[in-house]
């Protein structure tokens, strides 16, 4: 049986499958959201372990949140309420 080598990036930043309505902007935002969650997890673990001061952890999380909000705005997620999202109402 052949073992597949896992890259460092895949190990550190695993990606889950996307099950939502498939549109390029949704896929990009989902990837950004998963990266946000992974980074928050690392920051929280570093702060909990005493490797990162609480103030620094807060500032890093705040900066990541701003990036995610900017990404959402640039991709136009949730801006057009009349856009067909693939679900019948």
Take residue 20 and report the two structure tokens written for it.
């939502």
Residue-level pLDDT at 37: 96
- In this structure, the dihedral spanned by the alpha carbons of residues 20, 35, 15 and 21, taken in order and rounded to 10 degrees, is 10
- Integer Cα distance of 3 and 54 in angstroms: 41
- Integer Cα distance of 83 and 7 in angstroms: 38
Name the DSSP letter for residue 82: T
This prediction's pTM? 0.75
Q: Residue 83: is its pLDDT beyond 90?
A: no
Residue-level pLDDT at 73: 96
Compute the average pLDDT of residues 8-35: 87
């Amino acid at each position: 049986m052949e073992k597949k080598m896992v890259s460092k990036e895949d190990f550190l930043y695993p990606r889950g499958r996307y099950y939502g309505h498939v549109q390029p902007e949704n896929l990009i935002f989902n990837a950004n959201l998963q990266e946000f969650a992974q980074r928050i997890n690392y920051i929280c673990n570093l702060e909990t372990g005493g490797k990162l001061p609480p103030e620094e952890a807060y500032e890093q999380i705040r900066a990541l949140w701003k990036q995610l909000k900017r990404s959402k705005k640039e991709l136009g997620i949730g801006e057009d309420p009349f856009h067909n999202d693939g679900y019948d109402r």
